[in-house]
Amino acid sequence: MPRRMTMTEKILAAHAGRADVTPGDSVWVNVDVLMTHDVCGPGAIGIFEEQFGKNARVWDPARIPIIPDHYIFTADEKAHRNIGILRDFVKRQGITYYYDPEFVSMQPGMPNPYRGPNNTTYKGVCHKALPEEGHCRPGEIMLGTDSHTCTAGAFGEFSTGVGNTDAAFTMGTGKTWLKVPPTMKFTFHGEIPPYLTAKDLILAVIGDIGFDGATYNAMYFTGDGVASLSLEDRMTLTNMAIEAGGKNGICDVDEKTLAYVRARSNRPDWTVYEEDAGAAYCYEKAWDLGAFEPLVAAPHSPDNTRTARECSDVKLDRAYIGSCTGGKITDMIFAANILNGHAVKIPTFVVPGSTEVHSDMLRLNIFGQPVGTPGSDASMANSPAVHKSIYQVLLDAGCNIGASSCAACLGGPKDTFGRLNEPIQCISTTNRNFPGRMGHKQAGVWLASPLTVAASALTGLVTDPREFVSTPIETGGAGLV
């Protein structure tokens, strides 16, 4: 009789052609999707061609999406060169899904941004573009040459980052070798309060177990508290599994997941796996969301967590809203609801996580409805905010809004939008705050939710968002289908 297994174990067993697997087993598995981008793609391509031959063909050109996103808006010539390498490879191999920043030329200088978010083949941050473009499905194995590939676990799949050598092998064979990770179970009870987002939840987890507390473990997020989250907020949970050392993060599949995948998937079939009752976990912990407070992670580690209230005397120089963690459309709605009708006190940089998010910021109001359409709260039907886009609300508040990209999340060249080029203090919706992560090695990065970042932008101090929000923020159909 097959052993009782977790979702992660079931997915790995199925892809290994086995009835069951046990943590610690090493198995060859078939890979469904391999993603790469402009930073690691050229290296992976180089190894592939060195090991398989210059004229070798990839295992399946329809299963290798290539999504440039990291060093796009820069004059750095090596960054432009990387785009050229990707274009050449895509042409030679006939790669089906390549999202080209067509505005990047091989000429010196800063590229002009895309003409508009709906008039470009460029898609923005890979981890947001992958589900938008139909590459995420329950029950699959996704690899990516980026540590935050674990984001896609929100869709009930095994998704993890790999190095260039492993990626090159998969390019040529469609397979990889994995050790089955033990699973840690994190249960959240209750409905999420209006002053919290999933960023607060994952910071609590990392604060409890440490930045290495889940090393090579699967992190399973469950409970009615996770069920109450939007699909985008679940992506925030799984996105930061790697900040605890996790091999992957994964959530249960429900109708929210399936509605999105049915509308978006570029393949017709997938398999939904569920945890077996009695499956074994190497660690378990549960939280009551009603007892949570908004959190921040102080410099210089994601596990250096404190309540926002405890840090109210921390003076800030900058706020940053963006990245695969905090640049989704629901993140923008959360921030815009707090900033609406106010002016920021410190420079505040906003970077949409994808060109679709950028488009939605222009199309939707702060209630998640098309501009001109009120939300469900009748008392707000005549609010001027009904007739303003999210983008306009942020502009009116004094935010600097950039084009979609990874931008300053990982520092990048010195001309990167929002980069910390001085030893300043920044509160950010990003995922890492190690020294130098967003630029200057002496800069301090305070990780927080979009609600806390927006509230802090208005005061210039780390600020508990409960000072500005007490009722649920509507998101309408934003971030769904």
Q: Per-residue pLDDT for 108 more than 90?
A: no
The C-alpha atoms of residue 12 and residue 176 are separated, in whole angstroms, by 11
Q: Helix crossing, 255-264 with 231-239: angle to 10°?
A: 90
- Say what the pLDDT of residue 480 is: 80
pLDDT in tens, 133-169: 999 999 999 999 999 999 999 999 999 999 999 999 9
- Say what the pLDDT of residue 195 is: 97
Q: Per-residue pLDDT for 112 more than 90?
A: no
The C-alpha atoms of residue 412 and residue 404 are separated, in whole angstroms, by 15
- Say what the pLDDT of residue 377 is: 78
pLDDT in tens, 378-390: 777 778 889 999 9
Per-residue pLDDT, averaged over 209-219, amounts to 97
Residue percentage of the chain with pLDDT more than 90: 93
The pLDDT confidence band at residue 476, using thresholds 50, 70 and 90, is confident
The C-alpha atoms of residue 242 and residue 182 are separated, in whole angstroms, by 15
Residues contacting 71, CB < 8 A, separation 6+: 38, 39, 79, 82, 406, 412, 413, 416
The C-alpha atoms of residue 278 and residue 431 are separated, in whole angstroms, by 33
- Say what the pLDDT of residue 481 is: 67
Residues contacting 271, CB < 8 A, separation 6+: 14, 138, 139
pLDDT in tens, 34-78: 999 999 999 999 999 999 999 999 999 999 999 999 999 999 999
The pLDDT confidence band at residue 1, using thresholds 50, 70 and 90, is low
Q: Which two tokens stand for residue 280?
A: 């074994």
Of 294, 392, 384, 402, residue with least CA distance to 336? 392
Phi, then psi, of 90 in degrees rounded to 5: -60, -45
Q: Per-residue pLDDT for 392 more than 70?
A: yes
